[in-house]
Structure 1
Amino acid sequence: METGSKPRRRDTDERRVEKKRIQDRLAQRATRERTKNRIAFLEQRLQSLEASDKQGEISSLTRIIDDLRNDNHRLRNALVKIRTAVDQTIPAMEDHCDGRNSWKACGCSTNLDCSCRTTSRTTSPTLLEHTGPPMPNNQAQRHDSTPTEASDVSEVVHGNLGLCQPDTVDELNSAETFFDFNPNALLEMFEMGTTSPNAWDPATPSPLDFRLPSSETVKTAPDIDKWHVSNGAFTNALNSVKKRAGPNLELDLHVPFKAAIWGWDNVGPEAQHPVWLALRQVDQRVFGSWKSKAQRIALMYVCQTLMQYRESPTKDNLARVPNFFRPRPSQETIQHPAVIDFLIWPGLRDRLVFEHKKYTATGALSAAFVQNFNFYWPYSDRDIFGHNPVTDRYEVSKVFLEYVYSFKNWTMRPGFFQQFPEMQDDIAMFEEPPNFPGAAWMG
């Protein structure tokens, strides 16, 4: 009996041990599973925290890069203006010491680095060869009242192309003066930022920003007031220049280019001339919505030629006025608002001399005029300047001036004639040119 009970007890103990082992293995497996899950959770949490920190670090670095880029732009602008100021000051000091005349024969101030009589000059090949898109077909035609032809432009503008030119047209070439700017900085400023006058204003004040304090953005006048704003500006300018003691020799022709690059607030004291004060008011309050720098510069340039002639009606100054911009008989015999004299199209000037009250009672004409005005410049704004490889400097492109003096490049878009169909015989309509490779219309 005792012998039989011992094997049963031994079997019971072995079963208990085996059961205990199974339970231990299950417990260990569960523990390992919990540990594994915990490790996976912690690793995932760590990755999430690292990712969040990386995004914050990227944002911080991006802000630092933006701040450095803004400082770089301001410093680049500052260096360009410092160099310009130095180049203008040194000749003035030398002239003062030597007692020489302060003005050159071409009409430019000796404070400026003028190359009006330079005969060996080049621009970019694309500009010299006229490989851009052809003019629209209707732009090759003009009305009988138009007192200009392409040959007239060639006689006036091509003074530096080695052709025989009378001395009286040398004044025109004063517009083709060199800009002694750093080439890269000049072109970057043309393409950098927005078209706002404060395009380069820093987000926060910087001790490195030496520029003149920028005034508040000038608001564009309501359409109903644009005619009167323009007329008042031109009238005041003409009255001011007539009261000046001497002829207008100190008119700085660089001003419209500087205004387009830096904004009017940063041009300098030369912009205080009555002519530029008037054109600034018109540029900002009437044509403030224009995006094309070429269009703004072209209009300011032709307007100042007429103002300079009005102040000093000499043969030389008349030669600089585009033929299509010279007064019509109706303008010389009938009293009319001054702003009419500064409208591009002779036919439109004739019409408004007789009917300006009809068209200016509301702001419809001003609104359509500003919105649809078109100066044809098939290149980018940076092509207003051409690179001279000899001097490694940028000069005002002769091709740009050719486009300015060519009447067929001044048109109105079709929307204007939908409102004023009777003016189709006064103003040429712009038609989009064929889309040639490389053609860029700057409206």
Structure 2
Amino acid sequence: MSLSSAEKKRLRDRRAQQTLRTKKQQYTAQLEDKVAHCERYHDDSGTQHLLQVIEGLQQENQVLRNRQEGLKSLITSWEDPSSSPSHLLQPQPPTQLPLPPIQSYTTTPKPSSLSLSPPPPQTNKEESIPPLYSLLPLHSDLPTAPSLLWLALPPSTIISCPPSPHPLDLLYGTNTNPLANAIYTTSLRRPLRDPERLAFGWLSYHYSKWLFNPTSETFAKLPTFMHPVQEQLRIPHPASLDMLIWPEIRVTLIREWEVYSRQRDDLFGFLACCMKVRWPWGESLLERDEKNDLVMKTRFKNMIMCKEGWGITREFVDAWPDVVRGVDVGEVLMEIG
């Protein structure tokens, strides 16, 4: 049927309006999808989480920068041939680093009062030595899979935890101290007695506080036997090796980790069972302070903070003689009975 020009115009107008409505509906649907996506993935909690991740990465980056600068300064100060890599392959006892001054110092030659010749001109020589607390171990762990599981916590979380944990948090867990609770949870993987659980937890907690916040205050809470030796600063190794009580055993495992890494689970599982605190069987670890609060016994704390307070059972010495070859077995051997 033929249509008049007026009817054709109305038909075109209706089609144009229908097309316009369809486009508006499609555009509105797209906007609604975008709003729903933003509400789902870009709310305040998501933004806060991303900000926390960024802050944690920035702090971790700063820690790594400080570690790199400390290593550079330390390597520059080593001028003797024994610092060459080939020296690491030769058997030798661990070298405990001397405690350098925290600030740089100036040395000037002093003229002798008995000398008749004029003293040489005085020259000032600034020699900056990095403080020992700033020299961090060189780890080979992946950030997403640390050998010490609690180090997967955000650096900001570890830094914000109290300087020292409550002993009950290390023995039974806690909801108020994330670092102490993570260490406690990890300790449940091993069949530890309460003395070893508390002792390992105490050392692990303060080690982690120093590792992510290397200051003189955090370093002062570490026992002397946990101070890093040169091998820990020069050879990449798992962080779990830093928790071994005896520097000689740390050095052996760091130098020969390619061999022992294949037996890692057996080695650490057996060592966790055989490394003991020399604490009387059944004696309480806690006592009441003047405020009637439960605290760690001073005698127990003093024991775990010195190397002589620890021992290894004969079963481990017999099963892994090469691991303990650098220590005096007579001194570390501990009989259970």
Could you tell me the TM-score, scaled by structure 2's length? 0.51
Which whole-Å CA distance do the structure 2 matches of 1:322 and 1:364 have between them? 27
**Aligned counterpart, 1:257:** 168
Aligned to 1:152: none
Alignment of 1:10-409 (within 5 A): 145=94, 232-234=145-147, 237-238=150-151, 240-242=153-155, 244=156, 247-250=159-162, 253-254=165-166, 256-260=167-171, 263-264=172-173, 267-270=174-177, 272-273=178-179, 276-277=181-182, 279-285=183-189, 287=190, 289-290=191-192, 292-362=193-263, 363-378=265-280, 380-382=282-284, 384-388=285-289, 391-409=291-309
- Post-superposition offset of 1:412: 0.8
Separation in structure 1 between the aligned mates of residue 148 and residue 194 of structure 2, nearest angstrom: 25
Paired residues of 2:229 and 2:247 also in contact (CA < 8 A): yes
Letter in 1 for 2:334: E
Larger radius of gyration: 1
TM-superposed deviation, 1:258 = 3.3
Q: Specify whether residues 329 and 321 from structure 1 end up closer, same or farther in structure 2 by C-alpha distance, changes over 3 A only.
A: same
Identical-residue share of aligned pairs (%): 18
Q: Distance in 1 between matches of 2:216 and 2:287?
A: 29
TM-score by length of 1: 0.39
Larger fraction in helix: 1
What are the superposed Cα offsets for residues 412-436 of structure 1, whole Å, 9 maximum, x if unpaired? 1111111122224337432349xxx
Find the residue that maps to 1:307 and give its secondary structure.
Answer: helix
Change (3 A) 1:351 1:386: same
Equivalent-residue separation in structure 2 for 1:355 and 1:329 (angstroms): 15
Show the counterpart of 2:60: none
Counterpart residue type for residue 305 of structure 1: H
SS at match of 1:347: helix
Going from structure 1 to structure 2, the CA distance change for 1:294 and 1:431 (only over 3 Å counts) comes to closer
Distance 2:188 2:328 in 1: 24
Task: Give the direction of change, closer, same or farther, for the CA distance of 1:348–1:232 in structure 2 (3 Å limit).
Answer: farther
- d(CA) in 2 for partners of 1:373 and 1:416? 9
CA contact (8 A) 1:309 1:318 kept: yes
Contact 2:226–2:243 under 8 Å retained in 1: yes
Query: Aligned pairs, how many?
Result: 198
- Residue segments in structure 2 that go unaligned for 5+ positions in a row: 1-91, 98-140
Aligned to 1:205: none
Q: Residue deviations 1:172-196, cap 9 Å, x none?
A: xxxxxxxxxxxxxxxxxxxxxxxxx
Indicate if the aligned counterparts of 1:345 and 1:427 stay in contact, CA closer than 8 A.
no
Contact 1:385 1:394 in 2 (8 A): yes
